[in-house]
Amino acid sequence: MGWVLLFALGLWLAGGRFGVSRQARTLVVAGIYLAALVATLALPQGDAMRAFLGGGPAPWLLLGGALLIVLGYRALLSRLKRRAEGQGSAETTPENAPLFADGERERYMRHIVLRELGGPGQQKLKRARVLVIGAGGLGSSALLYLNAAGVGTIGVIDADTVDATNLQRQVIHGDADIGQAKVRSAAETLKAQNPFTTIRPYTRALTPDIAADLFADYDLILDGTDNFETRYLANRAAVATGKPLISGALSQWEGQVSVFHPAAGAPCYQCIFPEAPAEGLAPSCAEAGVLSPLPGVVGSIMAVEGVKLLTGAGAALKGEMLIYDALWGETRKIALKPRPDCPVCGAHEEEVTR
């Protein structure tokens, strides 16, 4: 059997060398295959030619089945590639260039086969602009997965530099990045991970004088900070610009995620946390410690919520908070309600209920 296959391969390669068309070479190889299969079926047991051809039809049938699977898979990939092109060649950027670069569709093929995303969902991700506040524990995994998912433009703002104590959980940075600005380190990692996205690093803190203008340039905000002052500022700016805010928080073995979006009827952050806790009641990671994989779990959930919001897939955590207890392996969800007297989004609540 092996000699027959080598002969067929030799004919295929020789035909290609002399300019014989792929279709003609395919017909010749298929003819050899069918002749061998028929011979194994027709020749009696013990015949020398039957033994030369593999001893029976079973090996040839297995080979044919494997080839059919491979050809079917390639046909499916071709179909999905056409689907990713957006039901036609009209899917282009304003500059009339193709939305996806050469080789980019294959990168997102596992998204395109998802019924809830498909080619249209991947196009939405490509056009989306997401701002991540903080390139620390939560920001690390959120940035990596948003970037891998193909979000077209990702902004990251953080004034901090990489410290050795960060490396236990902030997986976007490495030992060689110690002392470097976190947003620069993150940007280098993200560009190495996916060269088809645009990364905008902001090496500074989020402040009231820039928050609203910065948020206005993005479709979605992820807050991965670890201090209440920045969380309240991000919430006010998100409400003022009408942008959904995905907020995550950590404490030792537990994390929580919610989507705050008063413009869609959900509460804002200050509806749920009217005031920052008293000093000492909510210790930082540096004071209380945090499990290394926990920011990865919670940050990844934030990225999942981002993908759902940008594509319209599934149900986002609007009006809900997901709580994950890593120590006991438990998750639970609690319902969140807007506060009509909220000083930040009370007016939005009145508009939604009218």
Tell me, yes or no, whether 347 and 233 share the same domain.
yes
Residue 350: the pLDDT is 44
Tell me, yes or no, whether 132 and 59 share the same domain.
no
7 within some domain: yes
The answer for residues whose C-beta is within 8 angstroms of residue 300's C-beta and 6 or more apart is: 141, 142, 145
Tell me, yes or no, whether 142 and 259 share the same domain.
yes
- The structural domain count of the chain equals 2
98 within some domain: no
**Cβ distance 21 to 12 under 8 Å?**
no
Residue 171: the pLDDT is 96
Tell me, yes or no, whether 74 and 185 share the same domain.
no
* CA-based nearest residue to 293, from 162, 141, 97, 184: 141
Per-residue pLDDT 10s for the chain (354 aa) are: 777 778 777 776 777 777 767 777 778 778 877 887 777 777 777 777 767 777 777 776 787 788 788 777 777 776 666 555 544 433 434 444 578 888 888 999 999 999 999 999 999 999 999 999 999 999 999 999 999 999 999 999 999 999 999 999 999 999 999 999 999 999 999 999 999 999 999 999 999 999 999 999 999 999 999 899 999 999 999 999 999 999 999 989 999 999 999 999 999 999 999 988 877 666 667 767 899 999 999 999 999 999 999 999 999 999 999 999 999 999 999 999 999 999 999 855 444 433
Tell me, yes or no, whether 226 and 336 share the same domain.
yes
Distance between terminal CA atoms of the chain? 78
Tell me, yes or no, whether 272 and 214 share the same domain.
yes
Tell me, yes or no, whether 129 and 187 share the same domain.
yes
Tell me, yes or no, whether 139 and 217 share the same domain.
yes
Q: Whole domain around residue 290: which residue ranges?
A: 115-353
Tell me, yes or no, whether 166 and 42 share the same domain.
no
Tell me, yes or no, whether 148 and 58 share the same domain.
no
Q: Any alpha helices (H) in 94-169, and if so which ranges?
A: 104-107, 109-112, 118-127, 137-149
Tell me, yes or no, whether 166 and 275 share the same domain.
yes
Tell me, yes or no, whether 78 and 119 share the same domain.
no
What is the strand order of the sheet 198-202 is part of? 198-202, 153-157, 129-133, 220-223, 245-251, 254-260, 320-325, 330-335
102 within some domain: no
Residue 92: the pLDDT is 39
Residue 282: the pLDDT is 67
**Cβ distance 321 to 260 under 8 Å?**
no
Model pTM above 0.95? no
103 within some domain: no
